[in-house]
Amino acid sequence: QKEVEQNSGPLSVPEGAIASLNCTYSDRVSQSFFWYRQYSGKSPELIMSIYSNGDKEDGRFTAQLNKASQYVSLLIRDSQPSDSATYLCAVNGVNTGFQKLVFGTGTRLLVSP
């Protein structure tokens, strides 16, 4: 079983729509959850972190965490063509001393004008 699973996509949405990106993880003791954005050929850029069940909002981004279901999601409101990128879900936890981020393979998002 993969540790962090994401649908590879592409997820295609029109400009102005809400993009919903999902991630599941297998390790129940995972503590912290991160969303990174990665443009083609570039490095991961941290956009959201979430540690508690529920929603966390930052501008157009909302992260949602449900530890019971081992599920974390990212909503992007008012999607822009510049949001077109691969979104990486990453988790860490006490089993690794919080040192190691375990990444999913990422979901490619395409926002069409």
- Catalog residues that contact another protein under the rule CB under 8 A: 31-32, 34, 36, 42-46, 49, 51, 88, 90, 92, 94, 96-106
E strand spans, 10-60:
11-14, 19-25, 30-38, 45-50, 54-58
Helix, coil or strand: residue 33: strand
Of 13 and 50, CB closest to another protein: 50
Work out how close the CB of 103 gets to another protein at its nearest, in angstroms, rounded to a whole number. Answer: 4
Of 51 and 112, CB closest to another protein: 51
Work out how close the CB of 37 gets to another protein at its nearest, in angstroms, rounded to a whole number. Answer: 11
Whole-number Cα distances in Å, 36 to 22, 42, 63, 68: 13, 12, 12, 23
Of 15 and 45, CB closest to another protein: 45
Work out how close the CB of 110 gets to another protein at its nearest, in angstroms, rounded to a whole number. Answer: 17
Radius of gyration of the chain (CA): 13
Of 15 and 100, CB closest to another protein: 100
**Cβ atoms of residues 84 and 111 within 8 Å:** yes
